[in-house]
Amino acid sequence: MGVSELADYPWDAVAPYAERARAHPDGIVDLSIGSPVDPTPEVVRRALSDATDAHGYPTTNGTPALREAICAWFARRRGVTGLTPESVLPTIGSKELVALLPTLLDLGPADTVVHPRAAYPTYAVGATVAGARAVATDDPDDWPEGTRLVWLNSPGNPDGRVWSVDELRRARDRARALGAVIAGDECYAELGWDAPWDDAPIPSVLDPAVTEGDHTGLLSVYSLSKQSNLAGYRAAFLAGDSALIGRLLTARKHLGLMLPAPVQRAMAAALGDDAHVDAQRDLYRGRRAMLRPALESAGFRIDRSEAGLYLWATEGRDAWESMARLAEIGILAGPGVFYGSFHPEHIRLSLTATDERIAAAATRLRRDS
């Protein structure tokens, strides 16, 4: 299947609800797409500025400084040991990697790509473009024969689900029995809210307790868009099985998938500075503390959402009806049907709005309760 044969972009269907929300006298509160609104940290902006003399081509595998920064970050922030510069690779944001990974792994019509039931839609898009079959299931026992790639998403988008070490180990065992690669999409891993993730690191698929020192068939995908407000930089990376990384590097060299040199410098700076990450997490924690009780007071139930950048909510009716209700009070959300057919009554609300806009949403929800 070619890219031109993909269905219409789903977010176009939200336009009428956005128009209605914008008509609110106090303006729209847009909680639909998780695009950061807070400033890019000064340490990152300074590094980017200092790297603007970028007259030569960048390297696809990243500068030695960036690769070493990625390895050090995994060890310091995620508890992942055993990575080397040969087992990490920068990518042009994480979405292109998600969309292209089945193709880069040479999957085709005989192969299956597994993804969560509540899922970022690009997992299925990537399978479709490669000609593979996409299957939505959360139970490793249901992964069919012929599965060659499994997407795990922890914390999940949209539902905030966190996979425990035991669950990740079970997934690893099942994938190895099938001969499948596991790709752990972990870009919200710094944003844990409910116990135990408010006080304990969210496990990576590369955690030593999961891998027992063997990264074979395992990849972790990470983005700096959320933790460092670098969505506009398209700054991401993957790590894990060095043999797989080598295969992907060769393919990406042929395709010219290289990250601009100034962005590589900025990434290294971001990965070496923990203070801005902690400050950003505190901002999101405060916004969540304002928005969640207001939604509950308005009759919504919050499901899962123990981590990540979203609240996964339902009032027990069709998601489009909830979208319309919120649009009437100037709030724009995302319908659960965009994340699979299993959640027709859920909506997703992002924490990526300013404190003032989140407070406005909370006030409107309480008045509407």
**pLDDT score recorded for residue 272:** 98
Verify that 134 and 89 share a domain, yes or no. Answer: yes
Question: Got the DSSP string for 291-359?
Answer: HHHHHHHTTPEEES-SBSSEEEEE-SS-HHHHHHHHHHTTEE-EEGGGG-TT-TTEEEEES-S-HHHHH
How many domains would you assign to the chain?
2
* Same-domain check for residues 105 and 219: yes
Q: pLDDT tens across 223-252, in order?
A: 999 999 999 999 999 999 999 999 999 999
Same domain, 356 and 233: no
The tens digit of pLDDT for each residue in 168-201 reads 999 999 999 999 999 999 999 999 999 999 999 9
* Residues 287, 268 share a domain: no
For residues 143 and 84, state if they share a domain.
Answer: yes
> For residue 12, what pLDDT is reported?
87
pLDDT at 3 over 80: no
Convert the pLDDT of each residue in 152-173 to its tens digit: 999 999 999 999 999 999 999 9
Tell me the pTM.
0.95
Beta carbons within 8 Å of 168's beta carbon, 6+ residues apart: 152, 154, 184, 203, 205, 207, 210
Q: Are residues 237 and 280 in the same domain?
A: no
Strand 331-332 with 29-30, pairing: parallel
CATH of the domain at 321: 3.90.1150.10
Q: What is the mean pLDDT of the chain?
A: 96
98 and 173 both lie in a single domain: yes
Confidence (pLDDT) at 2: 56
- Same domain membership, residue 142 and residue 58: yes
pLDDT at 295 over 90: yes
The 10s digit of each residue's pLDDT in 309-318 is: 999 999 999 9
Check whether residue 269 and residue 280 sit in a common domain.
no
Are residues 124 and 70 part of one domain?
yes
CATH number of the domain to which 221 belongs: 3.40.640.10
Question: Do the beta carbons of residue 188 and residue 309 sit within 8 Å?
Answer: yes
Answer yes or no: is pLDDT of 1 > 70. Answer: no
Burial 104-117 (b: 16+ CB within 10 A, else e): bbebeeebbbbbbb
161 contact partners, CB below 8 Å, separation of at least 6:
116, 118, 153, 154, 155, 304, 306
Residues 162 and 24 in one domain: no
Q: What is the mean pLDDT of residues 30-47?
A: 96
Is 235 within 8 Å of 93 (Cβ atoms)? yes
pLDDT of residue 5: 61
Same domain (yes/no): 247, 172: yes
Mark which of 222, 255, 273 sits at the end of a domain. Answer: 273
Range of the domain at 93: 42-273
- Of 257, 273, 289, the last residue of a domain is 273
